Amino acid sequence: MQSKLRGLSSFFVLVILAFCGRSAAAQDWFRTAIGLDANKPRLAIADFAARSEAAKSHASLFTQVVRDDLQLSGILEVPSPSFYPPQAPSIPAELKPAIWIDPPTNANFLAFGNLSESASEVAIEAWLYDVRNPSAQAVVGKVYRGAPTDLQVRKFAHQFADEIISKLSGGLPGVASTQIAFVSSRSGGAKEIWVMDYDGSNQHQLTTLRSISLTPRWSPDASRIAFTCFAPSAGLTSAQICMYSLDTGKLVSFPRFRGTNITPAWSPDGTEIIFSSSMQGNPQLYVSDINGGRPKRLTSANGASMSPSWNPKTGQTVAFVSDRAGTPQLYLMNSDGTSETKLDLPDKGYVIDPAWAPNGQLLAFSWRRPNDNYDIYIMDAATRQLVELTRDQGRNERPSWAPDGRHLVFESTRGGTRQIWTMLADGSQPHQLTTTGHNESPNWSPR
């Protein structure tokens, strides 16, 4: 009893610390959990040299995208280019490490290289050197060749950035080549599923159902996107599960069920989905194969259950939302529907949008506390420790983790309209990805 009380009180101390700003004690476990070390190496990216006039614009695009990617990675400090020495190397033989180590650049690493371009091809040589250990081999040395288009140059820049991030983070790849699915009503008012690069570039529309499409979820192999749709059939409209194939660019058939069918979530092995359906009465969670076959009911409490998130690491636990206790709250259960437990939070309010981190330990969600707006929180599922990631900046909802576990994408009204933003998993570096129309319900692709 005594030790139980002590444990409980230390839990509340931690919670309180977490809410009282970014106290070191509360943040240590958390920064470790999300891999955001306080001591970040400084990495400078020299301007990539253009070998010809034709290569100039792509050289500066490549340089900028690599800088943005490394800045967004969260694991590196990128010194401002205005501090850089005037001469940038274009090949290793031109590298003078000392001038990059000196203040104000203070670099640990330097990325540099060159581009040449013809009408049919761009060729990029790119290196990363440890300037404090100049005798060593290049940390990264790559040659990229492809079509001389902005899109291709961006892709190469993302690949180079991911190489660097992987090398410097002990093998955990970056997310510069990943994508984000989301919902946009920018074209004609209908809500369609869109996809963009992780940095907000290359935004394009996937569906043209001209109705209401919601809650896109990537399959673990990124070949499909399951979502909630309102496609009418035989004169009847209702919310149904839809399945889009990125291989064919078309919808894959999925059976219609009675009632309201929403919020599909993939099992980590990609063979099953859990979704909410009122096919037998109140909205409950069902599991089926990915073609909608053999739906099996998992929950049976009063009220409605929805918004499942399947633990991607263990495959054992499903987090979801239910209003069985009056207002929407978070619950956990085993993926076979057994052992439902409520996740109690320090005070009431709405708790919605659970999203497991790739490590299967942290749960991001949105919480509207009494007399407050929706904000993004993260909970350690084992210790129930909490960290608040957003505050006093409009309505912040629907977090989704990047596959590196260091980034989250979410929707926010902080700029006046509902838009998609990313941030590091400690709430820092908020970055707006969309600006046109209303955009919501982002979901980060797997690798």
Q: Rounded to the nearest whole angstrom, what is the least distance from the CB of residue 184 to another protein in the complex?
A: 14
Binding interface with another protein (CB under 8 A): 191, 212, 214-215, 228, 230, 235-239, 259-260, 262-263, 276, 278, 281-283, 303-307, 321, 323, 326-328, 350, 352-353, 366, 397-398, 440-441
- State both tokens at 301: 């409490």
Q: Rounded to the nearest whole angstrom, what is the least distance from the CB of residue 371 to another protein in the complex?
A: 13
160: left (phi over 0), alpha (psi -120 to 50) or beta: alpha
Could you identify the residue written with the tokens 């998993």? 425
CB closer to another protein out of 278 and 361: 278
Q: Rounded to the nearest whole angstrom, what is the least distance from the CB of residue 222 to another protein in the complex?
A: 23
Q: Rounded to the nearest whole angstrom, what is the least distance from the CB of residue 366 to another protein in the complex?
A: 7
Q: Rounded to the nearest whole angstrom, what is the least distance from the CB of residue 106 to another protein in the complex?
A: 45
CA distances from 364 to 94, 104, 163, 242, 274 (A): 47, 38, 28, 25, 19
Q: Rounded to the nearest whole angstrom, what is the least distance from the CB of residue 323 to another protein in the complex?
A: 7
Looking at residue 103, the DSSP 8-state letter turns out to be: T
What is the SS3 assignment for 232? coil
CA pair distance 387, 357, nearest whole angstrom: 14
CA distances from 441 to 21, 192, 216, 402, 404 (A): 28, 11, 7, 14, 20
Alpha helix positions (H), 150-191: 150-168
CA pair distance 265, 355, nearest whole angstrom: 10
According to DSSP, the β-strands at 261-266 and 250-252 are unpaired
CB closer to another protein out of 223 and 280: 280
CB closer to another protein out of 19 and 230: 230
CB closer to another protein out of 125 and 353: 353
Q: Rounded to the nearest whole angstrom, what is the least distance from the CB of residue 349 to another protein in the complex?
A: 11
Q: DSSP letters of 361-429?
A: SEEEEEEE-TTS-EEEEEEETTT--EEE---SSS-EEEEEE-TTSSEEEEEE-TTSS-EEEEEETTS-S
CA distances from 94 to 89, 99, 115, 131, 138 (A): 5, 12, 15, 13, 13
CB closer to another protein out of 200 and 259: 259
Q: Rounded to the nearest whole angstrom, what is the least distance from the CB of residue 305 to another protein in the complex?
A: 8
CA pair distance 318, 103, nearest whole angstrom: 50
CA pair distance 4, 27, nearest whole angstrom: 24
CB closer to another protein out of 219 and 276: 276
